[in-house]
Amino acid sequence: MKLLVFGRTGQVAHVLQALAAADAGLHVTALGRDQADLTDPETCMARIATTDADAVINAAAYTDVDGAERDEATATRVNGDTPGAMARAAAARGLPFLHLSTDYVFDGSGTTAFAPDATTAPLNAYGRSKRAGELAIAAAGGQALILRTSWVFSSHGRNFVKTMLRLSDTRSALWVVDDQIGGPTAADDIAKTLITLAQALIAGHPGGIYHYAGAPAVSWAGFARETFRIAGRAVDVTGITTADYPTPARRPLNSRLDCAALQADFAITQPDWKAGLARVIDRLEGQA
């Protein structure tokens, strides 16, 4: 299977390339910003127009949630306009198109996990930009699958786990938000799921919107405590409220995602984020 992947240095794109390096039957062409700038939809369309890939995956995005509040136009171009253009180009070639989205398209109300067909109501510019991408992909009319996920972490790039471990090098106590609840999701689990989904689309599955997030649900504070426990670091974590830690962009309190449809349609179960966390910490310790 040949995959054209937009994104080269991001967490999921990094794993996709590593998986291809270990599997002779999987070929990944990963495009970085120098080859496909996501602020230039036409260039991205041109890459799809000339590819010999069997499917296209967009694993790149404008991910600076607070930065999007300052520059929503750029966030919307990268997360909204360009994915729509990619989807149109893929549809013109008859190629399956897979796209990563986010729990931030929801308002975070309540305590029930959001189903794929739940009403969207983003709280911030980043969420609005990602929802714009979802709508543009749907309007393209091709064979496309949108995979919403949440709280991505890995041993590569910037993420919560690496931040917590870095802070623990110099601090024995931390205050972490405890009223935002979600499902941490390891990038390697997401990458493997994307490969399975790409195979299904190549085989004829029509696509749609699906959710994929780690279980069980946990707060950021709980996620931090487990990180330190697995890493064997003595750090006291005190839970605080979102109001105690104001940020430019509003964060959803409830980021739970209902992943039942993914299991029903593809036999893909929710991953155990604690197992994924143990793998990540083991890799990080091996790099030290």
For 157, 161, 230, 240, 281, the CA distances from 171, given in Å and listed in that order, are 22, 15, 17, 17, 18
Neighbours of 50 (CB within 10 A): 9
> In the annotation, is 245 catalytic?
no
Nearest residue to 127 via CA among 153, 152, 102: 102
Buried b (16+ CB within 10 A) or exposed e, 62-84: bbebebbbeebebbbbbbbbbbb
Give, in degrees to the nearest 5, the angle at Cα 61 between 250 and 281.
80
The catalytic position among 62, 104, 126, 212 is: 126
Nearest residue to 283 via CA among 159, 176, 170: 159
CA 282 to CA 243: how far, in whole Å? 34
The answer to whether 158 and 68 are in contact (CB under 8 A) is no
Instruction: Quote the radius of gyration of the chain (alpha carbons, Å).
Output: 18
Instruction: Enter the DSSP assignment of 78.
Output: I
Active site residues: 126
